[in-house]
Amino acid sequence: MGINLNPFTWWNGASWSTVLYGLRGKTRVGEDALGNAYWQGGSDTMGRPRRWVIYGGSNDASRVPPEWFGWLHHQIDDVPDRALPPRRTWQKPAVANMTGTALAYRPPGALEKGGHRQAATGDYEAWTPDA
């Protein structure tokens, strides 16, 4: 079913018409580790080069790594590979937003984790206006 829907839908990725007609005369400037392709061409209303992303999967803005986010929003002029220093060893790779999935963060006491949280330790004293 996915191949039949692709020519008409945008929520599963770029439609064929976008790839065939919308990118004609534009320049592909790079790709990230998630398979997103970054393009540049023409100019926006402020005269800056127009930049956009074609997602390599579902259309979710949280799948754009921070360095490419900066490039898309004209915070850096050149592509991140050339404009930014190398990644530090302590930096973690960007992760897409996991909200709504089984991998989402659930704190202790969340209903999805059983709904039981640890008892209070006794060091908490509620505020009262007369105290």
Contact 97, 60 (CB under 8 A): yes
Measure Cα distances from 42 to 26, 52, 71, 109 in Å: 7, 11, 16, 52
Q: What is the per-residue pLDDT across 27-50, written as a single tens digit (0 to 9) for each?
A: 899 999 889 999 998 888 889 999
Average pLDDT by consecutive 10-residue portion of the chain (131 residues)? 53 56 80 91 88 85 90 93 90 84 86 78 82 65
Q: Where are the domains of the chain?
A: 2-113
Contact 13, 59 (CB under 8 A): yes
